[in-house]
Amino acid sequence: MSAAMELGLTDNWRARRIDVREDWSMDARRDVPDRSDDTSWEGFESFETAPWEPPEGWEDTIAGEVDSIQVVNHGAANMEFDPATLATHELFEKKTGIEIEAVEIGVDQANLKEQQFLGSQKSQPQMFNVDGTLMPLLVQQGLLEVTDPLYSEDVFSAYVETLPQTVRWGIDSSREGTHTYGYPNILEGTVGNLRPDLVESQGIDPSRFEGEWTWDLLEETMQAFEGTDVFGHAYYAGTPTYLFISYRQHLYQQGANMVADDGTVRVDTEPSRRVLRKFREWRDKGWVPSDVITYTEGDLIDLFLSGKLAYANAFSDFVPRSLNEYEAGSEYQVVVPPAATAGPDPQQAGVTAPNATAVNPFADPAEKLVALMYGDLRLSYPSQWWEFTYEGNMTYLKQVYDDSSEADFVQFGDIIGDSIERGKIELFPQMQSIFQRIADPFQKAITGDLSPEEATTQAQTFIDSVLSQ
């Protein structure tokens, strides 16, 4: 990595990665491809004037010998399915002459395939898009290259907290100390979705959901819809993935965590039991559909878009779907999720779901250097702008939320940004397998087949065994 350090990727990082936005006019940014007709960004002003340049002198390093590099991409990196990634790939090739070849893998297969690729210690592909839940396991096993040349300590101040939580680790079995192991790819996060017209029809002022609000108003809303064919609220608990999105969101709203200060994973806690008690209470009272125990995101979307749900916490891809169905402001509003009314530190919070790009430690040194240059572009304003304003993903870069809102690029952009900045993520080894195993007792606690105490005790016993803590 000595060549990378010599490039000075963090020298004047703010001016080079972010402040260049001042030279990128809003009019130019609006000239973008039509996803249904175009296959490339070339020729469009948003792309042709995008202000990113690779670090000076890179051609004179070993990176100048590289013609192409591969990245494992979750799905197709094309205009239809992943247009912001396509823009970033095309911009990198335009500025460096180095082609980014996307190796497409289905999302459901990605984690297993990536572990197999890296476990084989082959030099290609050189980069991998890695789900956040897999990051700690790969880092712990020494299967990811460090990306420290991209970051100085002050770099993280420009990005949402989810970025360092995803890429910075001190658990690498092959290295001492804390290092970084990747850079931004995709970011999702939960926001509050409100039907102002529906809550107003039940005598609740929609303005009460703006700014600070708590579970008290959430429960008042649920109760207000008793005896109607509309539910005030719903959560999803149908699969381990969705159950633990709902669970963690309500845990974080109490100011609690799964990972304790000593690094151990703890679910046998009062805040954890409070989540399960609330989920059961709301279901038993008929305040949420009894079928929430089978719900995934699609069920929640269907309920909301059919006019049968007044409020839901859901990932931000909920927003454009809702705006296609309802009038912004009068019929649909994005709000920051509520705070709990109990817990160690009640706060308005959501859940973020990050996906990073990591570097193959077995790649050729020249190709590793190119991968870091690509990371520099991924951290840049243009790449993050396209992710949020064009593709509809969240952005890791705080400035994009403010700019897009001021320029009316994204409806509710400022509120979405506020929600994402309040979002939390906790990542730990074997996270997915733990969720798979402890989902059963947690679901039984929601249906009343186990008490919250029994469920969390069973779950904690399993976690302690798996993590040897």
Q: Which domains does the chain have, with CATH numbers?
A: 2-188+353-422 (3.40.190.10), 189-351+427-467 (3.40.190.10)
**Residue 448 CB neighbours (<10 A):** 10
Confidence band, pLDDT 50/70/90 cuts, at residue 460: very high
pLDDT (0 to 100) of residue 107: 72
Q: Which two tokens stand for residue 391?
A: 């593709």
**Which residues are CB-neighbours of 258 under 8 A, at least 6 positions away?**
248, 251, 265, 266, 267, 272, 426, 428
Cβ atoms 232, 285 nearer than 8 A: no
3-state secondary structure of 68: strand
Q: Confidence band (pLDDT; 50, 70, 90) for 333?
A: very high
Q: What is the pLDDT of residues 18-52, one digit of tens each?
A: 999 999 999 999 999 998 899 999 999 999 999 99
The average pLDDT across 358-363 equals 98
End-to-end CA, the chain: 35
> In the predicted model, what is the mean pLDDT of the chain?
95
Question: What is d(CA 414, CA 429) in angstroms, rounded to the nearest whole number?
Answer: 34
Handedness of CA 16, 19, 23, 24 (dihedral sign): positive
The Cα 88–Cα 380 span in angstroms is 10
Model confidence band, residue 3 (pLDDT cutoffs 50, 70, 90) = confident
pLDDT value at 1 more than 90: no
Position 134: which residue type? L
Q: For 54-96, what is each residue's pLDDT tens digit? A: 999 999 999 999 999 999 998 778 888 899 999 999 999 999 9
